[in-house]
Amino acid sequence: MKILKKTKNIILDTLFPVSCLNCGQPDVWFCESCLNRIKPLSFQVCPKCEKILTESGKTCQWCKKDYPLKALVVATKYKEENVSKLVHLYKYNFITDLRIPLGEMMLRALTKNDLPLPDIIVPVPLHPRRLRWRGFNQSQLLGDFIAKNLTPGFEIPVVSDLLFRKRYTPPQMKTKDYAGRRENLADAFTVTDTEAHRIRNKRILLVDDIATTGSTLIECAKALKQKGAKEIFGAVIARQEFND
Ligand SMILES: [Zn+2]
Ligand SMILES: [Zn+2]
């Protein structure tokens, strides 16, 4: 079996040689030196008002009340060279190997920002219809990568069979206005009642690829909190502005 797999890979590599999408270095989709040139954010802001600088992206004292996210760590800028391109190729050209450089960006931001270690990682779920179309959940792969690499020698459990999208919502990028996005997602997520004990009193790291208004993360965090989660932090690759 192993030999067969190896042969298959050799054939694939010969037919479709992989090389760095930016500089062309062979054998990787995005090489280490191109990855090192992507600038991490030099500061983090409150995820709600996006105005107040806070340590590790914590929610500021004026926004804290009734806001379900304790902090949001953003790895880099969406407009940073190569970032939107990588995200697009990952999500729409299905190059799942790009979870590695993208996950690495998130990992570096999380390490630098030093939030308390999560008990579990929960990736933002896709609606089953969307999951069938894409074949993978982009946030799940990023969550798995972070779970394996955040603390060397210890893998954080990833819980991905508990939070669900109740209804199919059009992709956020197609919903133009701010209020529309909010409405679009209100109560879109739920936690299975019988499984709620698995998140009770847990510190959760919620992982998504890109945040725009933050509504997806907020709605997920709300659903998790309603079922007894202790505190919820979020991590994303970047935030996308409306006019991007
Ligand atoms: Zn390169
Ligand atoms: Zn704030």
pLDDT tens figures, 94-147? 999 999 999 999 999 999 998 999 999 999 999 999 999 999 999 999 999 999
pLDDT at 171: 63
Which tokens sit at 223? Answer: 């659903």
Q: Give domain status of residue 67, yes or no.
A: yes
Instruction: Round the average pLDDT of the chain to a whole number and report it.
Output: 90
pLDDT at 18: 92
Helix, strand or coil, per DSSP, at residue 240:
coil
Number of the ligand closest to the Cα of 23: 1
Q: Give domain status of residue 93, yes or no.
A: yes
Using an 8 Å Cβ cutoff, are 170 and 184 in contact? Answer: yes
Distance (Å) from CA 25 to ligand 1 centroid: 6
Domain that holds residue 21: 1-37
- What are the tens digits of pLDDT across the range 174-184? 555 666 666 66
The answer to whether the Cα torsion of 49, 55, 61, 65 is positive or negative is positive
Residues 54 and 32 both lie in one domain: no
Residues 63 and 23 both lie in one domain: no
How far apart are the C-alpha atoms of 10 and 37, rounded to whole Å? Answer: 30
Q: Give domain status of residue 72, yes or no.
A: yes
Residues 129 and 14 both lie in one domain: no
Residue 243 predicted with pLDDT over 80: no
Distance (Å) from CA 96 to ligand 1 centroid: 17
What is this structure's pTM? 0.89
